[in-house]
């Protein structure tokens, strides 16, 4: 088949897997039209889900098809299924963690190998841990998309676009050395929590104590921490997905 319009009209196609990426253009058209044509959809497109997840979910429900997006958030960590199924009886009040393998690799390598930010980014690209243009990872947009998706699922809300985002491009060797002297590590983390019945979301470099669990999560690994009642604190860890 030469184009996806043929796939959408093919009655023998039950499931469509979208890995184009991006919140607009062909990816958006394909997923929207697939659901409208009663096709089940599997996607790893975090940008699309974090922007149009509400609308897509309603279309999928209306047409009685599945919209599966487990790989959109920390591909190697089954966090979405855990929230939707394993933790469904709990009231979650906070979810946070390391949600981007590229940024974690860069910050970990800068500390361990004493390399500069620019040098480590180039290494991450060469190893396939980052895209040729890693701006989404560096400026925090990738983590922000994941935080919005996790918030929606954790707090049973619509997509909340109000989020503070601060990337890691200004973190240098001196910052890492100073944090180390004080007993801390620097991690780019995403947070979402309920405070006074309002959802607060943020992404920023964070000082974490060396003795904490999250400080020991290095390389391309991701870790998500869920706090709630009666679950208490639950940690889910795994390898982050590669470039989308």
Q: How far is 108 from 230, CA to CA, in rounded Å?
A: 33
* Whole-number pLDDT of residue 59: 94
* Whole-number pLDDT of residue 75: 67
Residue 244 has pLDDT above 50, yes or no: no
* Whole-number pLDDT of residue 9: 80
Residues 6+ positions from 13 with CB-CB distance below 8 Å: 7, 39
Q: Per-residue pLDDT tens for 199-242?
A: 999 999 999 999 998 999 998 888 888 888 876 666 665 655 55
**Is pLDDT larger for residue 64 or for residue 130?**
64
**Is pLDDT larger for residue 230 or for residue 173?**
173
* Average pLDDT for the chain: 87
Q: How far is 188 from 205, CA to CA, in rounded Å?
A: 4
Residue 96 in tokens: 């946070």
**Which among 46, 146, 148, 185 is annotated as catalytic?**
146
Bridge partner list, 228: 92, 232
CA angle 141, 227, 66 (to 5 degrees): 60
**Is pLDDT larger for residue 10 or for residue 155?**
155
Query: What is the average pLDDT across 171-192?
Result: 94
Side-by-side strand order, sheet with 91-98: 164-165, 198-209, 184-195, 91-98, 221-229, 232-239
For the chain, percent of residues with pLDDT exceeding 70: 90
Known catalytic residue at 62: no
Residue 99 in tokens: 């949600």
Q: Per-residue pLDDT tens for 40-91?
A: 999 988 889 999 989 999 999 999 999 988 877 876 677 777 777 766 667 8
* Whole-number pLDDT of residue 160: 87
* Whole-number pLDDT of residue 168: 93
Q: How far is 122 from 231, CA to CA, in rounded Å?
A: 41
* Whole-number pLDDT of residue 21: 84
Q: pTM for the complete prediction?
A: 0.83
Residue 32 has pLDDT above 70, yes or no: yes
Contact 87, 164 (CB under 8 A): no
């Amino acid at each position: 088949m030469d184009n996806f319009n043929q796939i959408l009209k093919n009655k023998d196609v039950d499931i469509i897997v979208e890995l184009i990426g991006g919140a607009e253009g062909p990816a958006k058209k394909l997923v929207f039209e697939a659901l409208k044509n009663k096709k089940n959809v599997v996607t790893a497109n975090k940008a699309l889900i974090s922007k149009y997840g509400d609308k897509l979910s309603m279309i999928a429900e209306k047409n009685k098809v599945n919209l599966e997006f487990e790989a959109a958030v920390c591909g190697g960590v089954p966090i979405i299924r855990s929230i939707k199924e394993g933790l469904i009886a709990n009231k979650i009040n906070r979810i946070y963690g390391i949600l981007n393998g590229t940024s974690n690799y860069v910050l970990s390598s800068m500390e361990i190998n004493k390399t500069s930010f620019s040098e480590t980014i180039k290494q991450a690209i060469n190893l396939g841990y980052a895209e040729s243009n890693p701006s989404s990872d560096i400026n925090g947009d990738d983590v922000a998309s994941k935080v919005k998706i996790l918030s929606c699922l954790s707090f049973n809300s619509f997509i909340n676009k109000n989020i503070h985002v601060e990337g890691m491009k200004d973190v240098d060797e001196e910052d890492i050395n100073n944090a180390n002297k004080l007993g801390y590590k620097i991690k780019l983390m995403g947070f979402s929590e309920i405070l006074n019945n309002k959802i607060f979301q943020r992404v920023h470099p964070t000082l974490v104590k060396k003795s904490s669990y999250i400080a020991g999560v290095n390389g391309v690994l991701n870790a998500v921490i869920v706090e709630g009642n009666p679950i208490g604190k639950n940690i889910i860890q795994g390898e982050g997905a590669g470039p989308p």
